[in-house]
Structure 1
Amino acid sequence: MRTLDSLILDQISGGADAGSLTTADTILVCDDPTGDLTAAACGSGRRVVVLDSDYSRCQRAISLGAQIAGDRRLDEFLAGSNGSAVAVGEMPKSLSRLDYLARSIAGAGFDTVTCVFGANNKHLARSMNETLATSFEEVSASRGRGKFRCLVATGPRNVTYEPAAGDGLVAVGGVFSGARADHGGELLRSALPAQLGRFLDLGCGNGSVSRGLDGDITATDSDADAVLSARAIGLSTTWDDAGSRFPAGTFDTIALNPPFHAGTTVDATLVSSLLDASARLLAPGGCLYLVHNSHLRYRPEVERRLGSVEQVARNQRYTVLRATAR
């Protein structure tokens, strides 16, 4: 178990009975990249509810016996709660995601609730304290352990959550780019053909690429915040892992604006599973339109999976490739 996860668990076990993780009735597991917080919570005998937005992590949580909020708004899912609760997780990278979690948990109706969110000291900022203080009366920092520390929030305020909105877009939680169209997505949108056929926005984010398009339009994302954001503007959107719910050869056109960062680090491997999915989901002769940062060399990876590839748009920062399925 990571030092960070161990520190978070130790924070909620203080004062509990010997051998008990916590005396709270419910453990809310928020952002849990390793799954260790979920596993420990499920082993405690308490009611465990996972609020993580990641599809694959939530499926693992179900297999351990946890409930999940899944692709439901957290504030609506938790409304009417009672008893005592503790919420644990890695500190979200996005203040918008932190605010969403804090408001949803504080406004849920629990009699008492404590939030414990941990991170590397260099990733903690005063703005995180301020965001938590909007939803909780008391916010303090734990004692550190190595490079890590937790922020602890108690005393829920009477708050509600409202997604951000603007420019025809809605941003639930920490969806990428918020309620704005990102520059790469806009270049991708401009390169799409007039006739889309059966169209999939793969990894749709806030839905900015496919908003307002005519035809047989489907969107999908593995992040529940993205799914809720896209649905809020009327897109038919599934929550799954790289379009895994769809049969092979389902789509004539796929648009892909993939993630390039894991946390704060550029990770060129993140696109691999989405390219594999594109190759599976395209009908013969169908086309993938992929936008990427121009300095990242994705063309060989696309060619290896799909064959014929050509550049159809480019600006100072981004490139759009079109690949035709064999």
Structure 2
Amino acid sequence: MNARSGTAPGFDFESLRRWPDIETENLFASDATDRLLLDTVADQLPSTFSGEVVVVGDAYGALTLGAQHLGATEIRVHQDSITGERALAANAERSGMAHSFTSHALDASLFDAARYVLLQLPRSLDALEEVAWHIASNAASDVTLLAGGRVKHMAPAMSQVLEKYFGSVTAGLARQKSRVLTARHPLAAGPNPFPKGSAHDVGLERPLQLRAYGATFGGAKLDPGTRFLLPYLSEARAARHAIDLGCGNGTIAAYLALARPGLSVTASDASAAAVAATRASAEANGVGGRVAVVRDDALSQQPDGSAELVALNPPFHSGHTVHAGIALKLFEDAARVLCPGGELWIVWNSHLQYRGALEKHVGPTRQVARNPKFTVTVSARRS
């Protein structure tokens, strides 16, 4: 074991914060997988390794700042979530470590000549495949991928995905309910399989085209809750500007633009994969000129009172944890951005009972439709 062995000796994981993401007692900024990945790579790093380390999926900065503490410099980082990017930047600033890394899109430049990739395993097999394809296509021939996750969230299919792109894939011993998969010897990757696409009959003149990149939540599928919401949007108030908040693969944004030819739509999501997917979906439906897509933490870039209509299918997870905090944050931002009398149309899993929160944060709320799983409501912004 070399001089850097152990979990980034002296690095204070407890000082890391999730801000600007939701912060509560049961949500944490690092986990046992971060520590195990850093311990694993510490045994392999050479004496100098500037520009050779890439970090993917770092939630709030533990991997990036921990790798810097081990001696890595010029670390390249990709975080799908803009809140993760901002949390990493804030944690780095507080730690005096703000100049050790650069943030990148998921593209060739991220992995060019990389020799070590630290990856927090994503929930989606498509997300894992897209990362693996980029590594096999662009990294150094002697690259080592260390992909860690919580054992309860790992599946044999993850190794099978990696085996499509690497000649050697091995699983390490579990520690504190985490495990690391090690992949080496990249194979010829072939053409990029992303974005993926599908078409859906939603009652318009032509099928709705959807596109998705690996980390796009739900892929290119039509989410069942969103499908339930779409036909009721014809009852929404007349508007010149609407917002698809948490746009995902762009279903709502593209549908609104197709159904209302005079409408301009802003689609917003914290996920880089969602933003790319929504742009691709809008173009595939011929409405790219009327759908502006932004990567944002909720609606922080939108002015107060600037929208007449907001549509939302809110998430109810923060990572792997079921948590209502992110939905409440979206409700509050929608209320701020709506003009007086503006409407928030939302579909939600009926058991979540959001109506009280909508009344509190937005305004008078009425049920529009309900089935055994989903509820559609409309909330009017108070004057």
Which amino acid is 1:92 matched to?
Answer: P
Instruction: Answer yes or no: is 1:185 the counterpart of 2:226.
Output: yes
Secondary structure of 1:110's counterpart equals coil
- The 5-angstrom pairing of residues 1-326 of structure 1 reads 1=13, 2-16=31-45, 23=49, 25-43=51-69, 44-62=71-89, 64-65=98-99, 66-69=101-104, 72=105, 74-78=106-110, 81-82=112-113, 84-159=114-189, 160-163=191-194, 164-167=196-199, 168-192=209-233, 193=236, 195-212=238-255, 213=257, 214=261, 215-234=263-282, 235-326=291-382
Q: 1:134 to 1:230 in 2, by over 3 A?
A: same
RMSD of aligned residue pairs (Cα, Å):
1.9
Instruction: State the 1:89 CA deviation.
Output: 2.5
Secondary structure of 2:138's counterpart equals coil
State how far apart, in whole Å, the 1-side matches of 2:109 and 2:307 are.
Answer: 33
State TM-score, norm by structure 1.
Answer: 0.91
State how far apart, in whole Å, the 1-side matches of 2:131 and 2:32 are.
Answer: 23
Aligned sequence identity (%): 34
Which amino acid is 2:304 matched to?
Answer: A
Question: Residues 297-318 of structure 1: CA distance to partner in whole angstroms, max 9, x if unpaired?
Answer: 1011011112211111222211
Which amino acid is 1:139 matched to?
Answer: V
Q: 1:314 to 1:256 in 2, by over 3 A?
A: same
Question: Residues 120-150 of structure 1: CA distance to partner in whole angstroms, max 9, x if unpaired?
Answer: 2222211000001111111101122131110
State how far apart, in whole Å, the 1-side matches of 2:72 and 2:368 are.
Answer: 56
Q: How many residues align?
A: 318
Instruction: State the 1:23 CA deviation.
Output: 3.6
Secondary structure of 1:139's counterpart equals strand
State TM-score, norm by structure 2.
Answer: 0.78
State how far apart, in whole Å, the 1-side matches of 2:231 and 2:64 are.
Answer: 42
Instruction: State the 1:14 CA deviation.
Output: 1.1
Shifted more, 279-288 versus 116-125: the winner is 116-125
State how far apart, in whole Å, the 1-side matches of 2:50 and 2:164 are.
Answer: 23
Q: 1:53 to 1:174 in 2, by over 3 A?
A: same
State how far apart, in whole Å, the 1-side matches of 2:166 and 2:239 are.
Answer: 48
Secondary structure of 2:358's counterpart equals helix
The unaligned stretches of length 5 or more in structure 2 are 1-12, 14-30, 200-208, 283-290
The unaligned stretches of length 5 or more in structure 1 are none
Question: Residues 33-69 of structure 1: CA distance to partner in whole angstroms, max 9, x if unpaired?
Answer: 2421121234434221111101011123345332112
Secondary structure of 2:238's counterpart equals coil
State how far apart, in whole Å, the 2-side matches of 1:87 and 1:13 are.
Answer: 13
Secondary structure of 2:197's counterpart equals strand
| Moved beyond 4 Å, runs of 4+ | none
State how far apart, in whole Å, the 2-side matches of 1:324 and 1:242 are.
Answer: 19
Which amino acid is 2:197 matched to?
Answer: A
Secondary structure of 1:211's counterpart equals helix
